[in-house]
Amino acid sequence: MIAFSAAQLVNDVDMAAYEAQAQRVFQSAVSQVEQIRNVTLPHVALQVVTRQWAIDTWGRGYADPDLTNILREEKVYKGLFMMAENESLYQANVDWAGNWGAATWNGKIYVVKENFDPWHMPNAEATFVHELTHIWQPHLPYVTTFDAEKAQASLTEGDASYMGDFFINQTQTLSNPTAAAVVNQVPVFLLNNPEVNGVYPSLPATISYLNYFPYDYGKKYVAAMYDRGGWTTVNQAYQNPPNTTAQIIHPDKYFANETVQQITSPTLAENDWTKISTDRYGEYFIQVMFANWLSQQDAKNAATGWGGDKLTYYERGNQYLFTWNIGWDTPYDACEFFVAFNFMMNSTGAVRDNFCYWHANDRYLSIGWNQATNTVLIACSNNQTATQQSYFS
């Protein structure tokens, strides 16, 4: 007996039959979204594409022009021991696109034939409900940090994911009124949800979890909005979108309108470095960094209490340096992070030069705790002197 996956079976189906079934399910989903959210959707086209097309268009199409920045970001991830030395952030970005079952792009909805089964009901229709939710969502203001981008994506993707679950729950109830509500449906617009099926094998685990954050935590965040005031409260969030992953992880912080601490970059002893970029990475990034080496609970504990951060990336010839200054709500939070980071470093196999300095893979890393300001500063460079001469402002 030969076992075939759903994707393999779909791949063997005649394209005309596949497209006809997809269109039937798609049109039904249009009615569902309009009814649930009381909106009128514009006409939107549905297109079937192949996985290779998705990789070439959405993967390489976006990664190739951004290669220089991706390689810089990879240095940060590897400097923080979030990726193995033989892993490629560029390849992860390319492969991620081949992981999609459906997507909304340039006002059109696409399904990837190898990844999406239009006969798999009600999940197939839930996928279209998800994507059609994106069609009517208001445009959010442009943001410039990793943390804020993940927060806003958590609203849009969380809303769309919650809508998919809402549709399935509704369908389940109508077909069997005594059935319990269905929760935490596998998002079939994405394959291999790490919460359900294991991390997509070609992606570093940390990158996979960062990519899935808007779908997983975002859905929980939108559920908290819905529980507070139904679709009205969810819709109002677009007028005041979340701006930190801390607000997504802890919705009470969003309701309290908790603001971000303004963090400054440290003063460098050498003034011949060229500042390339600054960013804010946020609570969830810290949690993922720690979870790569510590237990999930220890990682969450060490990331909680985040108040703000600023990562600054510099270059000088073929040398690079980044400093990451992180603010904490209380002295205890700062201490907990400092201790957890030392535990993490002990687990990485890096050589400890003294209490605050390590080296590994031709990189040098330091950590300092400013107890007067509840900030912790991490510096990493392929130049040992630069790491040791990074100071607090």
Is the pLDDT at 197 greater than 50? The verdict is no
Question: 203 falls in which pLDDT band (50, 70, 90)?
Answer: confident
pLDDT at 195: 39
Q: List, in order, residues 6 or more apart from 239 with CB less than 8 Å away.
A: none
pLDDT in tens, 109-121: 999 999 999 999 9
Is the pLDDT at 298 greater than 60? The verdict is yes
Predicted TM-score of the model (pTM): 0.91
* Mean pLDDT within 132-137: 97
Is the pLDDT at 1 greater than 60? The verdict is no
Residue 147 or 99, more confident: 147
Question: 173 falls in which pLDDT band (50, 70, 90)?
Answer: low
pLDDT at 181: 43
Q: In what order do the strands lie in the sheet with 319-328?
A: 274-279, 306-316, 319-328, 375-381, 363-370, 357-360, 351-354
Average pLDDT of the chain is 90
CA atoms of 82 and 288, how far apart (whole Å): 8
Q: How far is CA 2 from CA 5, 9, 40, 197, 253, in A?
A: 10, 12, 46, 21, 52
3-class secondary structure per residue, 299-350: HHHHHCCEEEEEEEEEEECCEEEEEEEEEECCHHHHHHHHHHHHHHHHHHCC
Question: 99 falls in which pLDDT band (50, 70, 90)?
Answer: confident
pLDDT in tens, 300-357: 999 999 999 999 999 999 999 999 999 999 999 999 999 999 999 999 999 999 889 9
pLDDT in tens, 282-295: 999 999 999 999 99
Structural domains of the chain, ranges and CATH numbers in brackets = 6-255 (no CATH), 274-388 (3.40.1000)
pLDDT at 17: 95
